[in-house]
């Protein structure tokens, strides 16, 4: 799946408080791994995330090997917009 880096960061910043922890708990992964997925670079405290960034507009194009975290984030955003 491809998405711009700016869009990926916009989604992360739009998440309600506690969403990173919720995603991590749901997937049984470290919270820092979820942060790394959205562009953080604290690899010593979390796993590397399998994505590749190509230079381009909007911060570049991010190719996500596994969109599971993104899909959960979008689901949470959908929940918060209906409440």
pLDDT tens, position by position, 37-69: 887 665 555 555 566 678 888 888 888 888 999
Residue 37 main-chain phi, psi, to 5 deg: -60, -35
Query: Which value, to the nearest 10 degrees, does the dihedral of the CA atoms of residues 18, 39, 3, 56 take?
Result: 150
pTM of the model: 0.82
Torsion sign across C-alpha atoms 61, 65, 21, 33 = negative
Separation of alpha carbons 60 and 30, rounded Å:
26
| pLDDT digits 0-9 by tens, 20-36 | 999 999 999 999 889 88
């Amino acid at each position: 799946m491809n998405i711009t880096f700016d869009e990926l960061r916009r989604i992360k910043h739009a998440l309600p408080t506690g969403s990173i922890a919720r995603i991590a708990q749901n997937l049984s992964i470290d919270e820092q791994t979820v942060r790394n997925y959205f562009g953080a670079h604290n690899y010593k405290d979390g796993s590397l995330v399998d994505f590749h960034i190509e230079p381009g507009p909007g911060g570049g194009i991010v190719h996500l090997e596994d969109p599971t975290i993104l899909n959960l984030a979008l689901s949470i955003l959908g929940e918060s917009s209906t409440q």
